[in-house]
Chain A
Amino acid sequence: MSLVKHALSDYLYIEIVGIILASLMTAAVTTYVSYDAVYKASIVGGPITPVLGTRGYIDSYVREMPAQYYAGYYVKIKERITQLFLVLMWSHSMLLSSVYTIASTISVFPSLYRLRVSMIPLMFREGTSLHSLNFRIFLVSVILLTPLFVSVAVPLIILARGWLAEIPWDLLVLLLVLLAVMIFTATTIIHSVYILSGRLDFALVLALLVLVTLSQRLNCNMNAVKIYAGISVAFLLFTHIAFHKRWMNL
């Protein structure tokens, strides 16, 4: 564990500013995209106001509905708007995935750099197993990402708090999980490629390529979450196997 402590305690203020900048980027983009999506969804999903004219009825032909009927109808409208909100939010997935990738790179890179520099000497001195070392390094990356998860969740929750009061939150939770898994995947790719090859540019390009391609192919549902999680697990396993081979060579 001293490796991890060493890496984090060496942080300079400029690197902390980098993480804060990353969470600022994430929050700004998420806020903009979510407000845009909910506005468009409310225009598409709501009933049409008859600004061109409405027909009248002689009184005996009108069937009066109780006030509860309109309340139920409004809940239906809001459910439709929520579904549209998800779709419209996901239509910005390319912007979201590229910004999240860059943000996670900014926030994770300093610790990765330090860990990689001091990895080989510490390995011989401490005699820890390589696998646990790899997992510890990855754990630090995930801990450093929590501010990003928070800045994704805050705008969505603040926006949806009003209109999701009566209808179930599961769609919003799905969106939150999907965005979080997206950040997680980006970090996994950057982490494993950087630890193995030591080249940030290569790691960034690969992460952008994978995430942008995936976000164009997938829809906003549980399947996408599974695919993202599967890809991150695959990258982690790949790093593990590569580590093992290298250890054998040494």
Chain B
Amino acid sequence: MKSPKTFFVIFTFSTIVSIFVVFFGSLYWNPFESSMHAEIPLENAEQSLHFASVINRSVTYSFDVFWPLRAGNTTINIQLMGVECGKKKYIIKLFTGEGSSYLGVGSSVFRLKRRDPFLYFHLQVILTPGCKVFSNEKDPVVVIDAKSS
């Protein structure tokens, strides 16, 4: 073989091989999970709701959620367990890292498009004065399911 041809063969083949290795290696070694589940208890919900209903105001729980999650189209399913709200449902506000905000009433599903390998959103769960906690010993929980595809 002549020298430019040799170098061309070397360069092409090794670039192809390294791209293949990166592709399959990133599938095999990717520690990011494609679905996440969390149950976040709301502390002292019963007392706060009782106090808030006296002065006719709502109670807000706000927190950050951050998970290492694969990039792609993500479905976030949020619902509240252990709270009975009747006709006036609880409100869920979701602020994403891209600067957009979503509003949901009752148990809600949000669909996001993500490019990052992390999932970040700020969540506000607003319990309107009509809500009541089931008389259990447990606190009510926010159940968050995130699935990336």
Residues of chain A within 8 A of B59, CB atoms compared: 56-59
Select from chain B the residue with minimum beta-carbon distance to A1. Answer: B3
- Contacts A51-B39, A54-B43, A59-B52 given; does A16 touch B10 at CB 8 Å: yes
Do residues A53 and B66 form an inter-chain contact, with CB atoms below 8 A?
Answer: no
In angstroms, Cα B16 to Cα A154, docked, is 11
Query: CB-CB contacts of A153-182 with B at 8 A, as 1s and 0s?
Result: 011001101110100000000000000000
B6 to chain A, nearest CB (A): 5
CB neighbors of B among A164-215 (8 A): 165
Residues of chain B within 8 A of A120, CB atoms compared: none
Residues of chain A within 8 A of B121, CB atoms compared: 70
Tell whether B136 is near chain A: CB-to-CB under 8 Å. no
Instruction: Pick from B22, B38, B39 the residue with the most CB of A within 10 Å.
Output: B22
Question: Which of B3, B26, B38, B62 is A49 in contact with, Cβ under 8 Å?
Answer: B38
- Contacts A26-B18, A51-B38, A77-B66 given; does A19 touch B116 at CB 8 Å: no
In angstroms, Cα B71 to Cα A35, docked, is 13
The A contact surface, by secondary structure, is helix
Do residues B10 and A19 form an inter-chain contact, with CB atoms below 8 A?
Answer: yes
Interface size on A, residues (CB 8 A): 64
Do residues A71 and B40 form an inter-chain contact, with CB atoms below 8 A?
Answer: no
Select from chain A the residue with minimum beta-carbon distance to B129. Answer: A59
The B contact surface, by secondary structure, is mixed
Tell whether B99 is near chain A: CB-to-CB under 8 Å. yes
Tell whether B139 is near chain A: CB-to-CB under 8 Å. yes
A200 to chain B, nearest CB (A): 20
Interface stretch, picked from A38-46, A91-99, A131-139, A238-246, is A38-46
Residues of chain B within 8 A of A11, CB atoms compared: 1, 6
Interface stretch, picked from A60-68, A122-130, A221-229, is A60-68
Do residues B95 and A70 form an inter-chain contact, with CB atoms below 8 A?
Answer: yes
Do residues B126 and A59 form an inter-chain contact, with CB atoms below 8 A?
Answer: yes
CB neighbors of A among B29-48 (8 A): 29-32, 38-45, 48
Select from chain A the residue with minimum beta-carbon distance to B60. Answer: A62
CB neighbors of B among A6-53 (8 A): 8-9, 11, 16, 19-20, 22-24, 26-28, 31-32, 35-36, 38-39, 42-43, 46-53
- Contacts A52-B41, A56-B48 given; does A27 touch B57 at CB 8 Å: no
Do residues A163 and B21 form an inter-chain contact, with CB atoms below 8 A?
Answer: no
Question: Which of B63, B66, B67 is A54 in contact with, Cβ under 8 Å?
Answer: B63
Select from chain B the residue with minimum beta-carbon distance to A72. Answer: B99
In angstroms, Cα B7 to Cα A165, docked, is 34
Do residues A24 and B44 form an inter-chain contact, with CB atoms below 8 A?
Answer: no
Residues of chain B within 8 A of A147, CB atoms compared: 10-11, 14-15, 18
Residues of chain A touching chain B, judged by Cβ–Cβ distance below 8 Å, are 4-5, 8-9, 11, 16, 19-20, 22-24, 26-28, 31-32, 35-36, 38-39, 42-43, 46-60, 62, 65, 67-68, 70-71, 73-75, 77-78, 81, 143-144, 146-148, 150-151, 154-155, 158-159, 161-163, 165
* CB<8 Å pairs between A and B, sample of 27: A8-B6, A9-B6, A23-B17, A27-B17, A27-B25, A28-B21, A31-B22, A32-B29, A46-B67, A46-B120, A49-B38, A49-B40, A51-B39, A54-B62, A56-B127, A57-B62, A58-B59, A58-B60, A59-B58, A60-B57, A62-B62, A67-B99, A71-B98, A154-B22, A158-B22, A162-B117, A163-B118
Known: A27-B21, A77-B120. 13 other contacts (CB 8 A): A9-B2, A11-B1, A16-B13, A19-B10, A22-B14, A49-B40, A54-B40, A56-B127, A70-B121, A75-B97, A77-B118, A154-B18, A161-B115
4 closest Cβ contacts across the A-B interface?
A: A74-B97, A71-B99, A151-B18, A147-B14
